[in-house]
Structure 1
Amino acid sequence: MSADPTYATAAPPSHRPLVSVGMPTYNAEQTIAASIECLLQQTVADFELLVSDNASTDGTWDVIQDIARRDARVIGIRQPKNIGANGNYSAVFRRARGGYFKWASSNDWCAPQFLEHCVARLEAHPDTVLVAPRTRLFQGDLNHYTDYDRDIAFDQPDPVDRFIAVSSKLPLNNILNGVMRTAALARTRLIEHYVGADVVLVGHLALLGKIELLDEPMFYRRMDRETATQMMSAEALHRHHYPVKTRRALFPAWRKTGGWLHAALASDLSRRDTLRAVQWSLRQAYWKAPELGRDVVDAIGQSVRR
């Protein structure tokens, strides 16, 4: 194995694709094949599919290798150890080469026109950084779904208004499964190692451009205890983010506050808008004072136990 901490089923082709799709996965042997196949059937063919296996203990890697042998667009990436869900999401983006990027779960399903319609909207609206369709939720059988009616766009003209709306109004973060500009995503810290980092990322993107919602239900999201973080127990959620003991697990509320502040300061806003975004972030920190206090108590407790 080389110095690179991961290895892949094949070297990426020299052609730079229109879209990179990144699929982080862990122990998804039962669902990943269907999730990959729906992407291979997209009406946009000019894409690469980067599938990063986070050191699965089941047959996930075997499934990835088998599909990669049959379709050159699929590049399997194997992590030698579990780097946490958020770490794997960020790792797969760093391999992307397309002008547009989409994260895809190994448990969900996308309609064939997903990439085509999202890319078309992005190309027609240069001030938009992310486009996503409406969502349908399902458990088990894909045909038994429920339309999710709380997906919203963040397309206000004012970037700070968008930032505030994301931090206060985003329910399920379905919108992060849309298609975004690679250049915009590269300006962020991606998904850092704390709960809620995905929402902070959307907030940062909202400062960089508009986030649009297509009025078409083309994203089908699986909702069960094994795949949906909102339905996991506290213990399972902690393992999802921190599979091994690490200092990154300490001070999650403080890290999240720092994430909001970094987004406000790193988005090349006017001085006035930067101040507004920072003030909003500090106001959120004030509201979260009990959580910040618990972080300190928890850190002291862990220090004492050592």
Structure 2
Amino acid sequence: MRTDQKSVVAAQGESATAPRHACRFCRGGRGAVVLDLHTQPACDHFPSATDPGPDPAYPLQLWLCDNCGLAQLLDDPTVPEEPRATEPAALAEQAADAVHRVAAAGLLPEGATVAEYGSPHGGSWLPRLTERGLHPVAPGETAQVVLDCFGLMHHADQAAALKERVDRLETGGVLLVQFHSLATILRCGQWNALRHGHYAYYSTPALARMLTVAGLSPRAAWVFDLYGGTVLLAAVKGPAAPEPGLSALLIGENSLGVTDPAVLATLQRQVSVSAKALHGYLTQRRAAGTRVLGYGAASRAVALLCAAGVGPELLPAVADASPAKHGRRMPGSGVPVVAPPELIAAAPDEVLLFLPDLLTEVRAAYPEITGWVIAEPEPRAAQPPSREEPPMSAPTDDRPASAPRPAPALIGKAPAPIAIGFPVRNGKPYLQGALDSLLAQRGVDFELHIADNCSDDGTEDICRELAANDERVHYQRRTENVGVTANHNMLVREVNSPYFLWAASDDASHPDRLRLLLEALERDPFAVLSFSAARQIDSNGNTLEVWRNPCRTNHLDPVVRLRDLIGLEHENYHCYGLMKRDVLLRTLLLPPVKNNDRILVAELALHGPFAEVEQDLLFHRLHERRLTQSVSQRDWYRQQRTDGRKLVLPNVEEAGWYLKAVRNSPLRGTELGRALWALRPWFQANAVPMARNVARAAVDGARMITGPGRPDDR
């Protein structure tokens, strides 16, 4: 392989051609290297612990085909070794769940014949299928059901491997393909899923296209939590229309950018982020005298340890349940692999878990260990089991301030999963109650980032005292008044957590709000935001009204979501939801116009659906001091100005920002045209106000020319 192969960098969005490589499926020659891990040891080669090395290393690059959208290894000179892993309980449980769901869909008829293509790593579904009355066939025979569970990706020639499976499928039969979704890899920053021997990394759109080319009709899909997001795709040999679940996946993954080389190349940045976080965590723990060992000598841990420069001096051992790995060491890093009893005997303070799916299993198997730490994408303390939920009730403002609490077990310098952005200016008298309700959140790690925009009412003293007594609280005071909108937007860029939520200084939250929003967002791999029902409360905490979502924010079609949101005629509480920060950063954020929250939410809806929690978790306070209720639209608008202009055209500029938001979305071609056309009702409804803006601006401009003073504010 040539060492001068050009790579793609996300910021440049270049498309690099690879003249020596032909796509493993379509044989096309145009594509882009979207992830380059340089040289890495083969992750299935576990040398003896007495082997001093060095271990052989080989190029490891992910290439995206411009033609068919298949992400794949660019080259792989390694020879697969015999698998040494054991089947985890999570994999067995997922298999049982998958068989149940596929059978419920009517795709596993009793008496049907079945052929299985399993993974080299084990985990057959045949026992479960035979229990349901299906009959396995001999190798090479045709069958009515052909199953491939993590097997197809192990074939260098993807076209030939898929053809073999299709040829064995009888007319009217169903092919089931299970795969670790490329969308999950992208969404979760799982760059270390790239490994030698795994030749293909499927997105649902790419695999559906491959199946169609092979003569099948993609029909249904199911998503499972395994590995952060695993997809089971069903295609039939015969005509069939895609069911809603499959359509949702296709729309969601396309919106995510799974076939866009510039989007996939963002994984390259995650490599250094993960590596620095892991090395920093272990270095800090060693300096503090904290004993840390690892669990799970997984293939994905190989590249992570190598990238982080972690060896036995930082991580003395990794335990693994597979006897075949005992007495060996991790390739490249040299970290010894030991049996679980040795881990227990060592009595570590913390155990770094390299396979998050094993958490429930290892907690049950090794109750002596309490300090579990999830290793990727950045080290973080494992969440405790969920506690019983209290009754849903509105908070009161006469309760005492909560006692100072230490931070949850955040690890090293790695950020908490959730960052709460708390912009404030002169937040009294509701500030303390708002902060108390946020710090009372339970069942989830979070950080509270307060951005004080030059308050002069005692807000600074309250916040500084809180930050001094609670490690979760980070306080900063702006050096100048940057305006409401800029203060909100700056917070998004100043934090590092994967999830972000804005909180107002006069609102309150149910203590389980963050946990329930996070659970809702994690259940749907394509959702970009989760929100809840809300109550409007008065200055004393009494309920005024309840708010329920009137929009189809979970609709499969992004244009339907857009159309509903821009037609919203009352309060918009979606903007107070929990957002995926990487998606939020791909938007224009809040523009400097009134109704900017609606514009941002509309743009987010074009990136993906929203997950809804139908419980009153947000308590939104309406009072006379609230900015949006105390100033005119024109005065509010002037407060956001940073360009020095005096002429105000609120509706005209709001229209311009809607257009910018749609054009900035991931939609392209016909879908982009549909989204722009969906703005037409809003433009029609605002035609008269926009005309008045222009007329008013003409009058104000004339006054500025003919006489002193600013435009009339009537």
* TM-score under structure 1 length normalisation: 0.88
RMSD across aligned C-alpha pairs, in angstroms? 2.0
Distance 1:269 1:86 in 2: 26
Look at both structures and tell me which one has the larger radius of gyration over its CA atoms.
Answer: 2
**1:257 and 2:655 correspond:** yes
In the TM superposition, 1:152-301 aligns within 5 A as 152-153=550-551, 154-169=553-568, 171-227=570-626, 229=628, 231-234=629-632, 237-243=633-639, 246-247=644-645, 250-301=648-699
Partner of 2:143: none
Contact 2:558 2:606 in 1 (8 A): yes
Q: Given residue 115 of structure 1, which amino acid in structure 2 is its aligned partner?
A: L
Distance 1:169 1:293 in 2: 22
**1:101 and 2:500 correspond:** yes
Post-superposition CA distance 1:9-47 (Å, at most 9, x none): xxxx72221001001111112111111111111114421
Post-superposition CA distance 1:34-87 (Å, at most 9, x none): 111111111144211111111122111111111111112111121222222222
Distance 1:62 1:79 in 2: 14
**1:71 and 2:470 correspond:** yes
Distance 1:304 1:66 in 2: 52
**1:141 and 2:540 correspond:** yes
Distance 2:682 2:639 in 1: 29
Aligned match for 1:35, one of 417, 434, 449: 434
Distance 1:159 1:293 in 2: 30
C-alpha displacement at 1:249, in angstroms? 6.4
Query: The residue matched to 1:242 in structure 2 has which SS?
Result: helix
Contact 1:194 1:256 in 2 (8 A): yes
Query: Unpaired runs of 5+ in structure 2?
Result: 1-411, 705-714
In the TM superposition, 1:103-142 aligns within 5 A as 103-142=502-541
Contact 2:451 2:477 in 1 (8 A): yes
C-alpha displacement at 1:241, in angstroms? 4.4
Partner of 2:59: none
Distance 2:680 2:655 in 1: 8
Distance 1:244 1:92 in 2: 16
Distance 2:646 2:521 in 1: 35
Q: Given residue 289 of structure 1, which amino acid in structure 2 is its aligned partner?
A: A
Q: Given residue 243 of structure 1, which amino acid in structure 2 is its aligned partner?
A: Q
Query: The residue matched to 2:679 in structure 1 has which SS?
Result: helix
Task: State which drifts further: 199-208 or 211-220.
Answer: 211-220
Query: The residue matched to 1:208 in structure 2 has which SS?
Result: coil
Distance 1:89 1:249 in 2: 24
Post-superposition CA distance 1:192-234 (Å, at most 9, x none): 11111110100001111112221110100101121262x3342
C-alpha displacement at 1:244, in angstroms? 7.7
Query: Unpaired runs of 5+ in structure 1?
Result: 1-12
Task: State which drifts further: 149-158 or 108-117.
Answer: 149-158
Distance 1:152 1:77 in 2: 37
**1:21 and 2:420 correspond:** yes
Q: Given residue 477 of structure 2, which amino acid in structure 1 is its aligned partner?
A: R
- Quick one: percent identity of the two aligned structures? 26
Contact 1:43 1:112 in 2 (8 A): yes
Query: The residue matched to 2:589 in structure 1 has which SS?
Result: coil
Count of paired positions: 290
Q: Given residue 221 of structure 1, which amino acid in structure 2 is its aligned partner?
A: H
Query: The residue matched to 1:37 in structure 2 has which SS?
Result: helix
Q: Given residue 615 of structure 2, which amino acid in structure 1 is its aligned partner?
A: E
Query: The residue matched to 1:200 in structure 2 has which SS?
Result: helix
Distance 1:84 1:216 in 2: 33
Contact 2:634 2:648 in 1 (8 A): no
Distance 1:208 1:289 in 2: 28
Distance 2:577 2:646 in 1: 28
Distance 1:169 1:242 in 2: 24
Distance 1:248 1:45 in 2: 46
Post-superposition CA distance 1:217-275 (Å, at most 9, x none): 0100101121262x3342xx544443387428622222211221122222221411100
Partner of 1:5: none
Post-superposition CA distance 1:156-178 (Å, at most 9, x none): 11000000100013520112111
Distance 1:124 1:39 in 2: 23
Query: The residue matched to 1:169 in structure 2 has which SS?
Result: coil
Q: Given residue 526 of structure 2, which amino acid in structure 1 is its aligned partner?
A: D
C-alpha displacement at 1:276, in angstroms? 0.8
Distance 1:124 1:189 in 2: 26
C-alpha displacement at 1:112, in angstroms? 0.8
Q: Given residue 278 of structure 1, which amino acid in structure 2 is its aligned partner?
A: L
C-alpha displacement at 1:287, in angstroms? 3.2
**1:85 and 2:484 correspond:** yes
Distance 1:228 1:38 in 2: 21
Distance 2:650 2:611 in 1: 29
Question: Closer, same or farther in 2 for the Cα pair 1:240/1:75, shift >3 Å?
Answer: farther
Q: Given residue 242 of structure 1, which amino acid in structure 2 is its aligned partner?
A: R
Q: Given residue 639 of structure 2, which amino acid in structure 1 is its aligned partner?
A: P
The answer to which structure has the higher helix fraction is 1
Aligned match for 1:58, one of 423, 444, 457: 457
Q: Given residue 691 of structure 2, which amino acid in structure 1 is its aligned partner?
A: G
Q: Given residue 429 of structure 2, which amino acid in structure 1 is its aligned partner?
A: Q
* TM-score under structure 2 length normalisation: 0.39
Contact 1:135 1:151 in 2 (8 A): no
Query: The residue matched to 2:471 in structure 1 has which SS?
Result: coil
Task: State which drifts further: 280-289 or 83-92.
Answer: 280-289
Task: State which drifts further: 251-260 or 147-156.
Answer: 147-156
Contact 2:528 2:604 in 1 (8 A): yes
